[in-house]
């Protein structure tokens, strides 16, 4: 098997390359994705190898990018749109929720929109305003959209190809602070060999409490679990991977064993994914819970200036504090 050590960003690049090779209907489009290779170089080298008719530099117009992609999808192409930063997606929001999400339903199933909208999201890179947001709840709330996020290079490589092959529109969230983290990637394994696209995975087994996270917070929670183990407390960390539809089967099984649950995400807590997850865990696992489901999230403020973003982002200490509180009830 061809196993390589890749950064998460390089794994995405390799997955996009495979998708372009395997299907001539796949096209990549976005601001600076071609000659520059994207602001994070995720599409580096693809225009050179596949040409400017398949890796397309677009005008700076997010609504136009998504609207054009809808037309391409209707005509049988599989467009992959890059939104340069999370905070730039809002000009395209109308197209996404009014056209992308609803076209299949509106046409009574006659029209499919097989497109992927890639969005680097989250903080932790010292960026300026509008470059460190977590808009996942907007899209997970929208019927007709599927929302997924990778947390490691292997998932980045597999999930981007799975998303492109899907006949449904998918918002693909990429944790930008993790682009440079490395991991082993099996380039030859069947894409569904480990996990189907819309499924969660147990990232670390444990017995004392369940910690649920996704995207950039998975690494933070794994680090918290390592620290907790030094004090004799074994945390089970579950990487949700899919935000819509949510796959909580593994979470239910885990919480019924541990009796305790903490949900972690960067986005503000008010009406965030953590609220929905906590409600479902409580409904399904009520008689197994030893304490309330707790959330560790960003604060209910606009994302702060980069010099104080570490005060805003959930960290190892805040996760461990929440775990401790679940044992104090």
Q: Is there a cis peptide before residue 245, judged by omega within 30 degrees of 0?
A: yes
Q: Active site residue: 104, 131, 198, 265, which one?
A: 131
Helix axes 316-326 and 217-230, enclosed angle (nearest 10): 60
131 is catalytic: yes
The CA–CA distances, whole Å, from 63 to 73, 75, 88, 289 equal 15, 19, 10, 45
Output the CA angle 179-209-279, nearest 5 degrees. 85
216: nearest Cα among 295, 160, 136: 136
Paired strand residues for 263: 212, 295
Sorted by sequence, the CB contacts under 8 Å of residue 144 that are 6+ apart come out as 100, 101, 102, 104, 105, 169
Question: CA-CA distance, 218 to 260, in Å (whole number)?
Answer: 18
- Name the residue among 176, 179, 60 with its Cα closest to residue 127: 176
Per the document, the length of the chain is: 329
Smallest CA-to-CA distance from 121 within 161, 149, 160 is with: 149
Q: Where in the sequence numbering do the catalytic residues fall? A: 131
């Amino acid at each position: 098997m061809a196993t390589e050590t890749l950064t998460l960003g390089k794994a995405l690049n390799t997955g996009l390359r495979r998708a372009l090779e395997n299907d001539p209907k796949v096209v990549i489009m976005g601001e600076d994705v071609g000659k520059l290779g994207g602001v994070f170089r995720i599409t580096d080298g693809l225009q050179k190898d596949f040409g400017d008719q398949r890796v397309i530099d677009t005008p700076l117009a997010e609504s136009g990018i998504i609207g054009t992609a809808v037309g391409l999808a209707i005509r049988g192409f599989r467009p992959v749109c890059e939104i340069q930063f999370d905070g730039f997606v809002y000009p395209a929001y109308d197209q996404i929720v009014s056209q992308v999400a609803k076209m299949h339903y509106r046409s009574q199933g006659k029209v499919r929109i097989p497109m992927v909208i890639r969005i680097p999201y989250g903080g932790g890179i010292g960026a300026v305003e509008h470059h460190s947001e977590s808009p996942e709840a907007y899209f997970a709330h929208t019927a007709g959209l599927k929302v997924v996020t990778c947390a490691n290079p292997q998932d980045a490589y597999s999930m981007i190809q799975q998303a492109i092959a899907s006949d449904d529109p998918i918002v693909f969230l990429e944790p930008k602070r993790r682009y440079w983290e490395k991991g082993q990637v099996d380039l030859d394994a069947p894409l569904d060999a480990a996990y189907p696209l819309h499924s969660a995975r147990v990232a670390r087994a444990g017995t004392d409490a369940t910690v649920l996270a996704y995207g950039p917070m998975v690494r933070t929670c794994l680090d918290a679990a390592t620290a907790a183990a030094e004090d004799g407390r074994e945390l089970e960390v579950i990487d949700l991977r899919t935000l819509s539809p949510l796959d909580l089967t593994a979470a239910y099984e885990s919480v019924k064993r541990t009796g305790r649950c903490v949900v972690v995400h960067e986005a503000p807590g008010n009406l965030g994914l953590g609220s929905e997850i906590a409600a479902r865990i409580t409904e399904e696992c009520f008689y197994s819970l030893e304490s309330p489901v707790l959330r560790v999230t960003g604060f209910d403020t606009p994302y702060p200036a980069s010099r104080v973003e570490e005060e805003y982002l959930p960290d190892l200490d805040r996760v461990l504090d929440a775990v401790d509180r679940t044992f104090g009830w």
